[in-house]
Amino acid sequence: MRPVIGLTVSRTGDDGKLRDGVSVAYIDAVVAAGGLPVLLPNTGQTEVLNRLDGLILTGGGDFDPKWYAQPNVGTPPGAISAVRDLAEIQIIRTAMHLKLPMVGICRGIQGLAVALGGTLIQDIARQRPHSEVCHYQTEGRAVVTHSITVDSPSQLFGILAARNLSVNSFHHQAVEMVPPGWRAVAWSDDGVIEAMEWSGTHFAIGVQWHPEDLAADGDPGGARIFAELIAQGAKFRGSAEER
């Protein structure tokens, strides 16, 4: 059986009907890499993680700054979903306890920081006014608009086989302080953290860009991130079966 990969979801409902859903690009990227995607609704229930082989923390709105003990200095209240915040924090902490392979994407890397003891830059334009990097592009989802530098050696460097690459960018917040046990492994030219990874024994990384959209456009680097998660998920399943 293909590795089963859980995907967190956004809660929307401008027409009065609440929906939990995710961009099809995530689903397609998991399927193309050989995985079986399963959506995780914002119920706060974590028992399903025991049936997964891997986890993707998907993009979306902002976390309430209360979760990392900061006053609100640039997080739009309308961008916050209290239900999703709580559900994902519970998922992240449980997944780390289970040593579940995982990748956090955009909001996902921020969620890893928030849930595990790090902090965020709430608004890059306000808190880094001299930055010349456009972190929220107006170009299409698969268009790369700024460069990043990847630390070597790192797990991410091993996956991408590149120290310098260009990425797409759709965020106004970013990781400010990585959580204990994690280390930053990629930065944009203005010093904003673009990726971090867990220094322990199981596979867990976060990236600030959107590799699912790049993979959909045929970018090999984007596809490699999902391929690595599926490979790690297969190993995780194998070790669980041995136990």
Tens-digit pLDDT string for the chain (243 aa): 899 999 999 998 877 789 999 999 999 999 999 999 999 999 989 999 999 999 999 999 999 999 999 999 999 999 999 999 999 999 999 999 999 999 999 999 999 999 999 999 999 999 999 999 999 999 999 999 999 999 999 999 999 999 999 999 999 999 999 999 999 999 999 999 999 999 999 999 999 999 999 999 999 999 999 999 999 999 999 887 765
- Verify whether residue 135 is a known catalytic residue: no
**H-helix or E-strand spanning residue 6:** strand 4-8
- Verify whether residue 132 is a known catalytic residue: no
Q: What is the DSSP string of 161-202?
A: --SEEEE--B-S-EEEEPPTTEEEEEEETTS-EEEEEE-SSS
Domain ranges of the chain: 4-242
Catalytic residue among 106, 135, 194, 197: 106
Catalytic residue among 194, 197, 212, 228: 212
Catalytic residue among 135, 146, 171, 210: 210
CATH number of the domain at 4-242, out of 1.10.10.10, 3.90.420.10, 3.40.50.880, 2.40.50.100? 3.40.50.880
Entry pTM: 0.97
- Verify whether residue 210 is a known catalytic residue: yes
